[in-house]
Amino acid sequence: MCGIIGIVGTAPVQGRLIESLKRLEYRGYDSAGIAGLAGGQVMRRRAAGKIRALEAVLEDDPLDATVGIGHTRWATHGAPTLANAHPHTQGRVTLAHNGIIENYAEIRERLAAGGRRFESDTDTEVIAALLDSELAAGKAPLAALKATLDQLSGAYALAVLVEGEADLILGARRGSPLVVGYGEGEMFLGSDALAVGPFTHRVCYLEEGDYVAIDRRSARIFDAAGRPAKRAVRVVPASAALVEKGNYRHFMEKEIHDQPEGCQRTIAAYVDPLTAKAAIPGGIDFAALQRIQIVACGTSYIAGMLGKYLIERLADLAVDVEIASEFRYREPSLSAGSLVIAMSQSGETADTLAALRYCQAKGMASAAVVNAAESTMAREVDVVWPIHCGPEIGVASTKAFTAQICVLTAIAVAAARARGRIDAAEEQRLVRVLLEAPRLIAESIELEAAVRGVALEVARARDVLYLGRGPMYPLSLEGALKLKEISYIHAEGYAAGELKHGPIALVDEATPIVILAPFDSYFEKSASNMSEVMARGGQVVFITDPDGQAHAPQGARVVVTAPRCDPLIAPLVYAPPIQLLAYHVAVQKGADVDQPRNLAKSVTVE
């Protein structure tokens, strides 16, 4: 969840560490810090809060060094205070850590009993203390690192400075990602390729359990057993332009607007527009599959639910979808001949990764629908289905969600055809419908002005209900999740059919009820629910299409009219209005849209 950067450079590193930390801020922003080596001595600058607080510290007290590490924190152990900000120093060792050390309490107790004093409440500081003790016992830095790692259980990515070692940064990873960047006479460590992107595009992804020593010219990599290891160096394309906000106020706003183009890229990778056939790379035989198990968290889980609706209806192929954190500990019964699909924007979410590995250990074939094509999940599965929507920086997922749905829709069509549920003509029709999605998403985004008007009212609410049937039910969950995440208004998504089993008790004049109801086979029932709500004084925001508007009962407080579309792509077309609603409510309330409190973009701890 935290972000790490390390530079063994020839030029001053302060500005570059900060530049990199800003790119990593999506991983956490509770505190930030940098440390550098100058004349063999370590200097540290840290601040509670976001990176701009650290910048203010550096204005008064710059750090003059050509070798340094940096960290942006998402607090797990210990409050987000200055004392708990990384890097942490013990004796000769200063380090930044991403992950959780599970046995830190016993290590700390043991070292404290031996006279070691700790400055922070973090689990991280014990790593520095252990490593310092190993160095003090006379071990060379790499041997001391190995001896330290052998005593840790838990997850870590580390960047380490050692006093007296002017041309060295040590690194290690287990459970948390770490890349080595190869520059010209300079070397880098970072949580991801984005972190080192401004300095080099040549990166190597360390494997689980690897540790490394970098100097200005080289990286010496070792595997978990301590054997020298060779890891491929790849060129990761320049993505700098993709991580700028452009003319938008927030990344989330930009990413909502990116969706037509993003989905276009995604769809292009999964259908052939010329033949109008779905073409799913990876050679999975959908005809032979007995079940699909989707595991995911957060918005990716909701995309997975939509996948279930799409794949079961079109392809008559059973799909189970489960929240990864529940799945991994539930000892689920899994059938052989099933495929597990991990859905994850980052490809690093700890629970999803664990659930995926659980299924793999049971012998299931595996696939990952991910945005980060070089992520841990992508590297560990049999088949990778990248979503191609470009880096997503806003903590609340938007364009990754619609891109995930595009992939799942193409899979549903391909599976339906492979299983003989649709003929070639129907496949072509459905593919052509999917190819219309980017245009209709763009039209749907044009509802922004209307949605902004609704947002003024919703921003005053304490609670908001979202209702939908069929694929609009998962979408109602997503609408509620988006609103909660960024505007801090309590919101619930419900299957509209469940209204009478509980949520109707919440209906009063002060609770806006957003009903998602395209004019489809569910429409009449959704319209009845709308009447039930209005009869009890509920203020309905009705999101429908022109036909739905014509047939809706009178009395909705607001009607937002989305473009007409085939039911196949309704989740894609109805996603922008609910995203924009959450966005404009958050802006209205002055909330920090891209970095909502307590959240992080990539959750690499349980």
Residues that bind ligand G6P (CB under 6 A): 297-300, 344-346, 349, 352, 395-397, 599, 601-603
Phi, psi torsion values for 326, nearest 5 degrees: -80, -50
* Parallel, antiparallel or unpaired: strands 512-516 and 490-495: unpaired
> SS3 for 150?
coil
> SS3 for 596?
coil
Tell me if 542 sits within 8 A of 277, measured CB to CB. Answer: no
Calpha distance 576→514 (Å, rounded): 14
Please, which residues bridge with residue 154 across strands?
Answer: 101
Tokens of 211: 């540790």
Closest to ligand G6P by CB, 48 or 481: 481
Q: How far is the CB of 601 from ligand G6P (least distance, A)?
A: 6
Calpha distance 586→486 (Å, rounded): 6
Angle in degrees, CA 489, 342, 348, rounded to 5: 70
Tell me if 549 sits within 8 A of 453, measured CB to CB. Answer: no
Our answer to whether residue 2 is catalytic in this structure is yes
Closest to ligand G6P by CB, 66 or 579: 579
Burial of 75 (0-12, 13-18, 19+ CB in 10 A): buried
Q: How far is the CB of 522 from ligand G6P (least distance, A)?
A: 26
Tell me if 471 sits within 8 A of 566, measured CB to CB. Answer: no
Closest to ligand G6P by CB, 280 or 603: 603
Tokens of 31: 């505190």
Closest to ligand G6P by CB, 526 or 595: 595
Tokens of 405: 């749905």
Closest to ligand G6P by CB, 74 or 519: 74
Chain residue whose CB lies nearest ligand G6P: 298
Closest to ligand G6P by CB, 23 or 88: 23
Q: How far is the CB of 299 from ligand G6P (least distance, A)?
A: 3
Tell me if 101 sits within 8 A of 122, measured CB to CB. Answer: no
Tell me if 179 sits within 8 A of 206, measured CB to CB. Answer: yes
Q: How far is the CB of 598 from ligand G6P (least distance, A)?
A: 10
Closest to ligand G6P by CB, 100 or 160: 100
Q: How far is the CB of 313 from ligand G6P (least distance, A)?
A: 24
Strand order in the sheet with 558-561: 490-495, 463-468, 512-516, 539-544, 558-561
Q: How far is the CB of 604 from ligand G6P (least distance, A)?
A: 9
Give me the catalytic one of 22, 146, 308, 601: 601
Residue 597, number of CB atoms within 10 A of its CB = 11
Q: How far is the CB of 177 from ligand G6P (least distance, A)?
A: 12
3-state helix/strand/coil string of 500-556: HHCHHHHCCCCCEEEEECCCCCCHHHHHHHHHHHHHCCCEEEEEECHHHHHHCCCCC
Calpha distance 555→539 (Å, rounded): 9
* Parallel, antiparallel or unpaired: strands 3-8 and 187-190: antiparallel
Closest to ligand G6P by CB, 300 or 409: 300
Closest to ligand G6P by CB, 191 or 346: 346
Q: How far is the CB of 487 from ligand G6P (least distance, A)?
A: 15
> In 3D, which of 543, 545, 563 has the Cα closest to residue 443?
563
Q: How far is the CB of 352 from ligand G6P (least distance, A)?
A: 5
Give me the catalytic one of 2, 263, 359, 565: 2
Q: How far is the CB of 591 from ligand G6P (least distance, A)?
A: 15
Closest to ligand G6P by CB, 72 or 602: 602
The DSSP secondary structure of 416-453, one letter per residue, reads: HHHTTSS-HHHHHHHHHHHHHHHHHHHHHHTTHHHHHH
* Parallel, antiparallel or unpaired: strands 41-48 and 31-38: antiparallel
Catalytic residues: 2, 601
